Amino acid sequence: MTITVGARVDAAQDAEVAGLATAQASAAQRFTTAQVTNFTQRLESLHGSGWGQSSFGLTLATDDTRKMARNSNGNGVADKVINGNPLSSGMRTVGLKARRVAQAEPAASDLPDLPGAAAEQARSPWAFWVNGTISYGRERHRDADERYRFTTNGISAGVDYRVNGWITVGTGLGVSSDRSRVGNNGTRSNADSTVAVAYASMRPMQGVFVDALLGYGVLSFDSQRYITATGGMATGSRDGTQLFGSIATGLEFYRTDWMWSPYARLEFSQAKLDAYTEDGPAAHALKYFDQTARSHKAVLGARAEGKVAVRWGHIMPQVRVEYARSFDEQNEAGLAYADLADQGPAYTLRGRAMDTGRWTVGLGGRLLLRSGVELGAEYTTNIDQSNAYIGSLRLGVRVPF
């Protein structure tokens, strides 16, 4: 009688295993990006005097805040003419620096009629907002890089309070979901995240801002892995936590019909993924041990916004350019076959240590109609030095009520 014992395949060399582990760690980082993007956009709206309108999508204002957003300290959507009359002293244009107008010339008859103004003392220091982002793209990992695809959604909501002219503080919640596919054999990872965030926008002097946020949340993953040796499937679930934050500072320069702002931002994130064991054939099911992924990012960027009046409203084009340098630690994931897991990790997946530059370009705009309804959209795209590609689309609507 002859008995032949064959060695098991090194699980760390399996492209399906490596792709799945990478997809989970990357999803946690994209959750951070989605929430930082949403909260940063809110913080940007608090610059100037710190009066932030209630908003849904890009913006949502009550009828009172819509009326109040036109005085010298506002952040509203008022424009050159109110009910056919030129700007009064102390009133401002959308997104532009407050300025006093000594003598305004009569406006052209083709400018739209927009809602009127109200006194600053009538404002409420409280504001509620909702914002959302959809991202999609591909990332590279070994031989399967071209086939690693994902879609990530992030929705954030919060409430903030204007303490005084130089600081506004707030808190919010964010939920995200990610759907990643690895290869063409059915390997996938579905992930969800819920986070709580505290944030503040400080305005130490005119035209200068400092924004900060800190968030903590929980993660959950459901996975399905194609077993290369047999063609079957193994499934599993794991949980985790994430901690992230950012601090940004910059300047804002205003002109008559446009503004631009250079800025710098530092971000950090840490995701801890719990150990889990797959359900599948005994000889091929794997145990994934605890995994930690850390990332640091430095960002330099500039954004600009203009305003063009037309007969049926105002068009406000926007553009953004950023360069981000990511400093990601090399994360390791320990593996073992489930029936031998008591002996500890037998294989190690080593994720790439990233010192990667990434350019981001965003184009978008807002459309303000005569009725006060505002529509907005922004598309951003970025490509890093490894040719990974991520696109993001943000849509919003502001409806007075």
DSSP state of 80: S
Phi, psi of 65 (to 5 degrees): -70, -30
Write down the pLDDT at residue 125.
83
Write down the pLDDT at residue 354.
63
Write down the pLDDT at residue 124.
75
Low pLDDT (below 50) residues in the chain: 56-121, 141-146, 399-401
Which structure tokens are listed for 18? 């490596």
Burial class (CB in 10 A: 0-12, 13-18, 19+), 219: buried
Model's pTM, two decimal places? 0.76
Burial class (CB in 10 A: 0-12, 13-18, 19+), 173: middle
Write down the pLDDT at residue 165.
87
